[in-house]
Amino acid sequence: MSSENEKGLEADILAATLQSGLEESQDLLEFLARKFEGPLSHLMTIRRKGGLLSKGRAIEEITFRFEDRHFQISRDARGFVAAKVLKEVRGIVLKTNPVEVDAWLRELAMELARQAERSAALRAALSRFILE
């Protein structure tokens, strides 16, 4: 199998794992935070509702940051989830592309697989995530 095929297969497996986790948890933002907050905390920002002393602070938004592409998923006041892919250059967002949640999950998985090629720690974290 070529390296490109292996990367595609890893991304597909990761995307399927994310999708099945969503089906089990029923709350994508909580699921992503629970799975990735520790091992990928350097790549993600989590914004929660309410003040510091609020009980059960629900997640409002998660952003995964990779060089010039950011993957953002948020929940509005009615509980609807929206996903976006942002193109950022030197701290300025040049383009915001709203996408369906399934497409967002696939694109995030592809980017995580690309990043894992460069980072042994990320690769190990993703392997643990897939095997759990």
> Domain segments of the chain: what residues?
3-131
> pLDDT tens for residues 74-123?
988 788 889 999 999 988 889 999 999 889 988 998 888 888 888 777 77
Look at residues 112, 89, 91 and name the one whose alpha carbon lies nearest to residue 32.
112
Question: Which of 74 and 5 is assigned the larger pLDDT?
Answer: 74
Q: Please state, in angstroms and as integers, the Cα–Cα distance from residue 46 to each residue in 10, 30, 36, 62, 109, following that order.
A: 25, 10, 11, 5, 18
User: What does the alpha-carbon distance between residue 15 and residue 20 come to, in Å, rounded to a whole number?
Assistant: 9
Q: Which of 55-59, 77-81, 118-122, 128-132 has the lowest mean pLDDT?
A: 128-132
The pTM of this model reads 0.76
Written as six digits, the tokens of 66 are 């990779």
